[in-house]
Structure 1
Amino acid sequence: MTKLKIMFNRLLIGFGLLLFIFLVFKLGKSFTKDSSEFVQTLNPQESAELPEEMVPLSNPIKDLNVEISLPSQIERELDLSMLVDSPILEDLTLGFATTQSMQTFLAQAEANGFRVRDRSAELKTVRLRVLDLDQASRYFDKMENEEEPHYNYRVRSPELPRAEFLEGEKSFGANADEWIGVPEERNDWGRGVKVAILDSGIDLSHSNLDGVSIEEIDMLGGGSSSRGHGTAIASIISGNDSGIMGIAPSASLLSIRVLDGKGQGDSFTVAKGIVEAANRGAQVINLSLGGTGESIVLKNAVDYARAQGSLVVAAVGNEGVSGVSYPAKFDHVIGVTSVDANGRQSSFANYGEGVDIAAPGVGVFTAWEDEALVSFSGTSSATAFISGALASEISRNPNLSSDQVVDLLYKYSNESEKPGFDEFTGNGILNVGRIENRNVPNLHDGAIVGYYFDPEEMKGGTTPFLVSVQNQGTAWLNNVSLEVEYRGVVKNYIFNNLDPGETRSEKLFLDGSGESGKGVRISSQLRLSGQTDIYPENNSRVSTISLPD
């Protein structure tokens, strides 16, 4: 069987699965509200406050039980005529072991039935189109090396979260920076650090970006583009105090346009953008984009950037399913998920292998194109917070390696609902304040980090759950009391010898989901005996829990 047939067989399987996911998505969307309302133009003075978190533990996508029927065996032999009209052959990538072998291919490309669309010397990869299928097939058949064509997978900025995903989630508004412990005095944060934003481009005329050093590269060859998404990312990272100040306002930005006006692009162009960013000295590369295809050229670009010393940060995706987008799923990429202002992983965020850390991603106030200010939700915004935090820490810790800076973010992240490293928030939730205070002695900060219900144990009837407490200060905590009240019952617990950073949990039991579908209200209060808590806001938590039937 020719290599083109092998490639096409693999892609048939992949596209079959993608088609199924697409149909499920379309089916769900047909009876939901329009998601466009979740990038809203705002009056900067307006910010909705919720008295308590409403926690439906039933996700419309995560709880969907569907059996997939696929052929038990894919036909191993394909007639080449089946491939002639395939759009797959319009956009392929081909990698080479050496520069010389790539040059040899380029010199003979047309004679072998190919048209070269683009190339990357650093990645030793060619983007091509098959013009003559018979000639191309004969070329691959006679090659003795392992050259194999791959489809140039599509990527895009994550779709905005659908309406039902945001019901009950608490927005950050203008308070996301304060929530993660970023001080107001940070004008010099990020100085000397270059952050590359691979996106739709940036509106350089926005007042929130006045004074920010921004270099532009357009890898799509010009044309009009909606630059709102890229502008929002830039604002979160380096915006000035005329709007919402960024995490690292003194960082310089390298805007590389790899997505068109609809937020769509391809893996090869993104890969070239990553290489360009690394070659231009970007210490942080922000990728608030992704796709479902495991692109070889994109993986090679990530590895190239890491070898150059760049940190690559990417969004896990907004479909609310098990399965992280690429490139966030690759090794050497920091995969970022979203949490709301109650510290809960967003129901729209993808989960699974590849999730490394969480950051604010619900209703974040940020700039948009044409001088707009919007409320922005999604793993895109969460990714920008991580990129900004990395830039700020690199600038203020010049003696640390890039990997050591990443370890700082992981080590001093806040625990999420599920104790320990998990598939939902990875190492935890970004907390810049804890990083800043890590060398300040005798800081007392106890926190209720949430309620965790194991999906495997939610089978109706009596359901166990965990209430978790974390020491987020720098001093040992003793005689810490936790009071939990629900269904008219009050439970009391005492914690001693709680090490800085340590998390402890107590198991409780909930009988039923509440009366008339209203859910069960759980109220918890943490008290430190004889010690002053530096952040009492995280000592209480009130939630209404709705269990699935």
Structure 2
Amino acid sequence: MFQGRLVQGYDFVDGDTDPSEVGAPYVNPAYGHGTHVSGIIALVAPEARIMPIRVLDENGEGDFWRIAEAIVWAANHGADVVNISFGYPQQTQLLRDLLDACSDGTTTTGKTFPEIGINRLFFSIAAGNSGDSTFIYPAADADDSNGSLAIGASTRFDRLAQFSTFHNRVKLVAPGENIVSAIPGDRYAFWSGTSMAAPIVSAVAALVKARYPNLNPVEIAERVEQTSVRISYGNPQIRINRVDALCAVTLIPPATCNP
């Protein structure tokens, strides 16, 4: 699946250029997670180049500084889209500022990141799997105004998945229930979670960027959100939209895609 699809990545856990999976199945909870996420991107955006970057250890643990380093590294090595399929219960100003800086070079706090070059990034961030409105970061800091979107999960029946976190910062959902993708050992598996939904949106953003290379991250976020399709939910006061790749890439007017 990944033959000819990968560009040079980095392992910020071990400090080397080999970001391969570490650990063992059924032993380490994070084993296979990155491969499965990457496989979804490869399936949805077949011509996208994937830059694998490892920031969490085999148990799915990591620190904010390592994540910030990885984002800066991605920006400086030509990435256009960053997928974040993990989250933390506590907010950090560092990552919040970094999301802002990577979209247009400015932050609401005035903090600057001279380490970031001129390249700008769109972020697709998994909202979490709490099944309620619990804030998980950095998803809860995402906003289309800074070129980032918090992504919930939908089912094959076009409904919000029961496990999906959902609140007013979650602007979009994507299929995230029983998603088939690659896992280590040349195998495939069905996994569920907003971790599986976020890379679908990342892949759609990559398709949009490929067709319209002059769009900046904010414009990509707005296009992906505005061309999404409203789906069913028990509370009519809550609006839930599911990403639509065709509408986003062809720039079909939102009214046509989202009656």
| 1:409 equivalent in structure 2 | 224
1:424–1:350 Cα change, 3 Å: farther
Alignment of 1:492-507 (within 5 A): 500-501=256-257, 503=259
Q: Secondary structure at the match of 1:356?
A: strand
Maintained 8 Å contact 1:315/1:337: yes
**What value does the CA root-mean-square deviation take over the aligned residues?**
2.5
Relative to total residues, which structure has the larger strand share, 1 or 2?
1
The answer to whether structure 1 residue 237 and structure 2 residue 41 are counterparts is: yes
CA distance, structure 2, for counterparts of residue 313 and residue 268 of structure 1: 19
Alignment of 1:107-506 (within 5 A): 208-221=1-14, 225-226=22-23, 227-238=31-42, 246-306=43-103, 307=105, 308-331=119-142, 332=146, 333-418=148-233, 425=240, 428-436=241-249, 438=251, 500-501=256-257, 503=259
CA distance, structure 2, for counterparts of residue 420 and residue 305 of structure 1: 35
Give 1:365's aligned amino acid.
Answer: V
- CA deviation after TM superposition for structure 1 residue 214, in Å: 2.8
Give 1:214's aligned amino acid.
Answer: V
Question: Please, what TM-score do these two structures have when normalized by structure 2?
Answer: 0.80
After the TM superposition, which parts of structure 1 deviate over 4 Å for at least 4 consecutive aligned residues? 418-424, 436-439
1:370–1:397 Cα change, 3 Å: same
Q: Secondary structure at the match of 2:88?
A: coil
Q: Secondary structure at the match of 2:140?
A: coil
Maintained 8 Å contact 1:414/1:430: yes
CA distance, structure 2, for counterparts of residue 322 and residue 231 of structure 1: 28
Give 2:256's aligned amino acid.
Answer: P
Q: Secondary structure at the match of 1:312?
A: strand
CA distance, structure 1, for counterparts of residue 216 and residue 251 of structure 2: 18
Give 1:211's aligned amino acid.
Answer: G
CA distance, structure 1, for counterparts of residue 73 and residue 237 of structure 2: 33
- CA deviation after TM superposition for structure 1 residue 402, in Å: 2.9
Question: Please, what TM-score do these two structures have when normalized by structure 1?
Answer: 0.39
1:371–1:297 Cα change, 3 Å: same
Gaps of 5+ in 1: 1-207, 239-245, 440-472, 475-498, 504-549
CA distance, structure 1, for counterparts of residue 239 and residue 138 of structure 2: 17
Q: Secondary structure at the match of 1:250?
A: coil
CA distance, structure 2, for counterparts of residue 267 and residue 424 of structure 1: 32
Deviations 1:329-349 (A, max 9, x none): 114331000000000101101
- CA deviation after TM superposition for structure 1 residue 221, in Å: 1.9
Q: Secondary structure at the match of 2:78?
A: coil
Query: Relative contact order: is structure 1 or structure 2 higher (C-alpha 8 Å, sep ≥ 6)?
Result: 2
Maintained 8 Å contact 1:324/1:353: no
1:219–1:437 Cα change, 3 Å: closer
CA distance, structure 1, for counterparts of residue 35 and residue 185 of structure 2: 10
When Rg is computed on C-alpha atoms for both structures, the one with the higher figure is 1
Deviations 1:89-136 (A, max 9, x none): xxxxxxxxxxxxxxxxxxxxxxxxxxxxxxxxxxxxxxxxxxxxxxxx
Deviations 1:227-255 (A, max 9, x none): 511111111112xxxxxxx1212222221
- Alignment length (residue pairs): 230
Maintained 8 Å contact 1:324/1:355: no
| 2:108 equivalent in structure 1 | none
Maintained 8 Å contact 1:339/1:346: yes
Maintained 8 Å contact 1:275/1:304: no
1:269–1:321 Cα change, 3 Å: same
CA distance, structure 2, for counterparts of residue 328 and residue 424 of structure 1: 18
- CA deviation after TM superposition for structure 1 residue 502, in Å: 5.5
Alignment of 1:33-112 (within 5 A): none
| 1:26 equivalent in structure 2 | none
Give 1:316's aligned amino acid.
Answer: A
CA distance, structure 1, for counterparts of residue 72 and residue 258 of structure 2: 40
1:359–1:313 Cα change, 3 Å: same
CA distance, structure 2, for counterparts of residue 291 and residue 399 of structure 1: 33
- CA deviation after TM superposition for structure 1 residue 387, in Å: 0.2
Gaps of 5+ in 2: 24-30, 106-118
Maintained 8 Å contact 1:361/1:380: yes
Deviations 1:7-45 (A, max 9, x none): xxxxxxxxxxxxxxxxxxxxxxxxxxxxxxxxxxxxxxx
